Amino acid sequence: MAQMGDDPAAVRHAVSGGLRVATTEPAGAADVRDLPEDRTQAILEATKQVGTLLKQRGHRFALAGSVAAYAHGAGTNLQHDADFCVRAEDAEAVTESLREGGLEVRRPPEDWLLKTECFGQSVDLIFRLAHRPVTADLLDRAVEIPVESVRMPVLSATDLLVSKVSAFSEHYCDFGAVLPFARALREKIDWAEVRRECGEEPMPAAFLFLLERLNVIEP
Q: 123-133, pLDDT tens digit by residue? A: 999 999 988 99
Give the residue with greater pLDDT, 7 vs 187. Answer: 187
Q: What is the pLDDT of residues 198-207, one digit of tens each?
A: 878 899 999 9
Contact 48, 147 (CB under 8 A): yes
Residue (of 53, 58, 13) closest to 150 by Cα position:
53
pLDDT of residue 177: 87
At residue 81, does pLDDT exceed 70?
Answer: yes
Query: Concatenated DSSP letters for 76-126?
Result: S---S-EEEE--GGGHHHHHHHHHHTT--EE--SSTTEEEEEETTEEEEEE
At residue 24, does pLDDT exceed 50?
Answer: no
Calculate the CA 88 to chain-centre distance: 17
At residue 14, does pLDDT exceed 50?
Answer: no
C-alpha–C-alpha distance, residues 121 and 38, integer Å: 12
In percent, the amount of the chain with pLDDT more than 90 equals 67
Q: What is the pLDDT of residues 138-187, one digit of tens each?
A: 999 999 999 998 999 999 999 999 999 999 988 888 999 899 999 999 99
At residue 58, does pLDDT exceed 80?
Answer: yes
Helix (H) or strand (E) holding 69: helix 65-72
Give 207's contacts (C-beta < 8 A, 6+ positions apart): 165, 168, 175, 178
At residue 17, does pLDDT exceed 60?
Answer: no
Confidence band (pLDDT; 50, 70, 90) for 29? very low
Give the residue with greater pLDDT, 115 vs 21. Answer: 115
Q: What is the pLDDT of residues 83-114, one digit of tens each?
A: 999 999 999 999 999 999 999 999 999 889 99
